[in-house]
Structures are given as C-alpha cells and as structure tokens.
C-alpha cells in the first residue's frame, strides 16, 4: 500500500509546531513571497498584517490564559463556559471559527484555548497545506482533544477542504489507495480534535466549511481602556516604565489593535532611551508619534494618502477597490484587510456597492474642503 504508507511516513510540509510557544503565524516561505508586501509596509508601525520579527521574539507578551487575555469580554465569557463544559464531559471542544482584522488576537486566542483545555497545540496555515498528504500528515499525528489551528483558512484548496469536512465531522480521513480502476478509498479513524480556523476574510470562507464550526468568535477592535490595559501589561512584562497619561495617549494611536499597541510601545521605548528619559512620559509619546508621522486618530502617512487620493483623484468617491488599490500601490487584499477596516471603524471611509467613499470627517481630518464636483452622498446613505 504505497499511498497509505507514504502519507503516514511522509513528513508534512506544513509548518507545524506544537510547543505552544511559537508566535504561531505559521506562514510558509512561499506564502511570504507571494504576498510580499512593499518594504514600507513591513517597516510600518501600524501595519499589523505582517508580523515583524520582534513580535515573534516577544512570546512573553502573548497572554497564556483567558484571564490574561484582555477585552473581547462577551466572547471570552462564552468561551470559558464552552471550555469548562467540554472539560467536564471529557470531550474535545467543538470546532472554533475566529474572524477579524489582523493583530486582534486570533492566533493568541487559539493558544489560550489549548492552554485552558490543557491539550496539545498544533499550528499551520492554509497556504502551507498544498497536498492532501500535508493535511493527513498532521491529522494522523494529533492526539485526543488536540487544538489544531489553521490560520488564513479562507485560502484552503478545495481538495484539502473536502478532506477537512470529513475529518471535522466524522473524525475520519478519506484516503485513496492505488490508481486508475483499482483505486479505492479507505477511511482511517483519527482522534477527536478541535479545529480552530482563523481568517481576516470571513466572507471568503465557503459556507459548507463555516457550517462545520460549532463556535464562532468575531473579534472587534479593542476599546480605549482595553488597549491601555494591554499597553500597561506589556510595559510591565518588558520592564518599561510608562506614565499613565503616556499610556493613554499611546492607546489613542494604536487603532484598537494589540499588535499595534505593542509595536508602538517598543518604539516609544526607543525614543525614551535616545531622548534620555527615564520612563515613557507623555512628552516622549508626543514627540515619538510626531516623528513617526502618526496623527491623533492613529493614522499613518499611508492611511492619509489613501484618503487624499480618493478625494483628489476621485472627487471623494465612489471608487472601486481594484482601481483604488492600484492608485495607492497596494494589492486589493491588503487594502481591504488591513487599511480599510480601521478607516471604516474611524468613520473616515465607507464601503458601498459602487465603491469606496470618504466621509465629511475625512475631509475635516485632512483639512481639505469639499469642492463643488465632489460627491456628497457619503454622509446621507449607508450604501
Ligand atoms: N486580548 C489580548 N490581550 C493582550 N495582548 C493581546 C491580546 N490579543 C492580542 N494580543 C497581543 O497582540 C499580538 C497580536 O496578536 P495575534 O494573536 O498574533 O493577532 P492575529 O492572529 O489576530 O493577527 C500578540 O502577540 C499579543 O501579544
Ligand atoms: Mg494570527
């Protein structure tokens, strides 16, 4: 049975790590090349899409337990119940679907769930699962109740996705042995595991897959006091002294995103050090944000550029996502997943069926006046 043994023996290409300590982004090298973001974006403080090396270094910043996990209260409270119930019944937790913009804690929560369940944790990302044997290679090594995390689950290939359906539902693997007329399918039982799937694009996940998740957690941007709490927590762990009003000011510019908050904190530590301040004071933060060209709403230069381009070249919109992406030199995915959610959340941009529109607030924020030819519909309609 060559097929059978090759997948049992074959080493899965997928980047699996089960030490529970990794930064868990699980991206394959290919994946990084494929979506290779522009230099500027990698360097950007506020761009939570691509984890920076230093994010991975700071394992210590990742909350380990639900108790340490700041914010997302309603979601967390429900999860605590489901986890306690599953543990009480000595069953695996139902499959868990995590959606939301980058940097809000999806990977972190997956690890927290494994920790709370006191189970193994395995991580991969959809683009790393190229062939069915890559998935089979992982699923045949999971133990009972393992938390198996697949990042970017909207990018699964159809063949892998079908295999996953059966694994999720029946805890079995369909495996084809042989070729041509003599080929037959055998079903191999696997331990009952918990799949945790994360995506920034919930809309792109097929409905048969979505329907197989028993629990859905939708992440929303963090409230100001929560972000401040995260900044103070991280400062404590990194042993950085930060004054309360400095943390508050920094929190405003963190776009409701923990990954951004942590990055800004590290940069402010650099500024404090170079400016010779003993701790991060409000003055250090003011100076630091100015130097990084981050404004009071937490927008970076490129965010403002996007708004400006819509206003100056497209009369405030509507402009289609594709056209806009080309105009601002981004791929559509980056524009939609990273830039737009926060601009929308801040009330600066609207997504409509005919394209993107800036709001009055965007004009005001940039200090630009609406000209006669500019559209006014953005503020009257929702879509
Ligand atoms: N609820 C939270 N409380 C404290 N820190 C958090 C929280 N969520 C995320 N973080 C921090 O933000 C960083 C990014 O989170 P991550 O889970 O990688 O985001 P995502 O997977 O959604 O892109 C983590 O390294 C962690 O330190
Ligand atoms: Mg992640």
Q: What is the pLDDT of residues 8-55, one digit of tens each?
A: 333 333 444 444 444 444 444 444 344 444 433 444 666 666 666 666
239: in domain: yes
Tens-digit pLDDT profile for residues 237-270: 999 999 999 999 999 999 999 999 999 999 999 9
Whether ligand 1 lies within 6 angstroms of the CB of 263 is answered as no
From the candidates 50, 99, 107, 146, give the one annotated as an active-site residue. 107
Confidence of residue 377 (pLDDT cuts 50, 70, 90): low
- Position in ligand 1 atom list of the atom nearest CA 105: 17
Say whether both 104 and 136 belong to one domain. Answer: yes
Domain closes at, from 265, 291, 317: 291
Of the CA atoms within 13 Å of residue 332, those in its CB half-sphere come to 8
Q: In the structure encoding, which two tokens stand for residue 157, read together? A: 């290939």
At 148, which CATH number?
3.40.50.300
At 265, which CATH number?
1.10.8.60
Domain closes at, from 234, 262, 291: 291
Q: In the structure encoding, which two tokens stand for residue 294, read together? A: 């981050």
pLDDT at 27: 40
> Which domain range does residue 230 map to?
224-291
177: in domain: yes
Say whether both 241 and 127 belong to one domain. Answer: no
From the candidates 62, 99, 106, 356, give the one annotated as an active-site residue. 106
Say whether both 59 and 192 belong to one domain. Answer: yes
pLDDT at 373: 74
> Coil, strand or helix: which one is 255?
coil
Q: Which residue has the tokens 């009972």?
A: 144
278 Cα: distance to centroid of ligand 1 (angstroms): 27
Domain count, the chain: 3
Say whether both 242 and 194 belong to one domain. Answer: no
Nearest to 142 by CA among 14, 297, 286, 316: 14
Domain closes at, from 258, 291, 324: 291
Say whether both 357 and 256 belong to one domain. Answer: no
Task: Starting from the CA of residue 112, give the closest ligand.
Answer: 1
pLDDT at 56: 62
Say whether both 214 and 228 belong to one domain. Answer: no
> Coil, strand or helix: which one is 177?
strand
Least confident piece of the model among 17-26, 103-112, 340-349: 17-26
Alpha helices in the chain (DSSP H): 2-9, 29-34, 39-43, 53-57, 73-89, 106-117, 132-139, 158-170, 207-210, 224-237, 244-252, 258-275, 282-291, 301-314, 321-328, 332-334, 340-345, 360-366
105 Cα: distance to centroid of ligand 1 (angstroms): 3
66: in domain: yes
* Angstrom distances, CA of residue 108 to CA of 213, 289, 364: 19, 27, 37
Mutation choice for ligand 1 from 51, 60, 105, CB with most ligand atoms inside 8 A: 105
At 315, which CATH number?
1.10.10.10
Tens-digit pLDDT profile for residues 149-203: 999 999 999 999 999 999 999 999 988 888 888 889 889 999 999 999 999 999 9
């Amino acid at each position: 049975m060559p097929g059978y043994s090759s997948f049992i023996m074959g080493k899965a290409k997928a980047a699996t790590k089960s030490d529970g300590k990794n930064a868990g982004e699980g991206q394959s090298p290919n994946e990084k090349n494929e979506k290779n973001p522009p230099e500027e974006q990698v360097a950007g403080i506020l761009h939570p899409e691509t984890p920076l090396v230093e994010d991975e270094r700071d394992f210590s910043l990742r909350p380990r337990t639900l108790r340490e996990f700041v914010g997302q209260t309603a979601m967390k409270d429900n999860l605590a119940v489901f986890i306690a119930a599953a543990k009480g019944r000595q069953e695996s937790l139902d499959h868990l679907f995590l959606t939301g913009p980058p940097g809000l804690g999806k990977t972190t929560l997956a690890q927290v769930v494994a920790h709370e369940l006191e189970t193994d944790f395995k991580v991969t990302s959809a683009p790393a699962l190229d062939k069915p044997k890559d998935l089979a290679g992982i699923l045949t090594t999971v133990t009972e109740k393992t938390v198996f995390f697949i990042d970017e689950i909207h990018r699964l290939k159809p063949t892998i996705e079908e295999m996953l359906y059966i694994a999720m539902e029946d805890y079995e693997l369909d495996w084809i042995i042989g070729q041509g007329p003599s080929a037959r399918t055998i079903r191999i039982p696997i331990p009952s595991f918990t799949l945790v799937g994360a995506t920034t694009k919930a809309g792109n996940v097929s409905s048969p897959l979505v329907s197989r998740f028993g629990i859905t957690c939708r992440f929303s941007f963090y409230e100001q006091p929560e972000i401040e709490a995260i900044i103070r927590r991280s400062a404590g762990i990194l042993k950085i002294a930060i004054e309360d009003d400095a943390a508050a000011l920094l929190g405003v510019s963190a776009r409701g995103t923990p990954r951004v908050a942590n990055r800004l904190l590290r940069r402010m530590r650099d500024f404090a050090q170079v400016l010779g301040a003993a701790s991060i004071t409000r003055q250090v933060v003011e100076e630091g944000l100015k130097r990084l060209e981050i404004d009071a709403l937490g927008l970076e230069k490129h965010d403002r550029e996007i708004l400006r381009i819509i206003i100056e070249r497209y009369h405030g919109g509507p402009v289609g996502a594709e056209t806009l992406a080309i105009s601002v030199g981004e791929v559509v995915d980056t524009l939609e997943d990273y830039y737009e959610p926060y601009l929308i959340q801040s009330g600066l941009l609207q997504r409509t069926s005919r394209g993107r529109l800036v709001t009055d607030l965007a004009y005001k924020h940039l200090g630009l006046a609406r000209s006669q030819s500019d559209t006014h519909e953005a503020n009257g309609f929702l879509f």
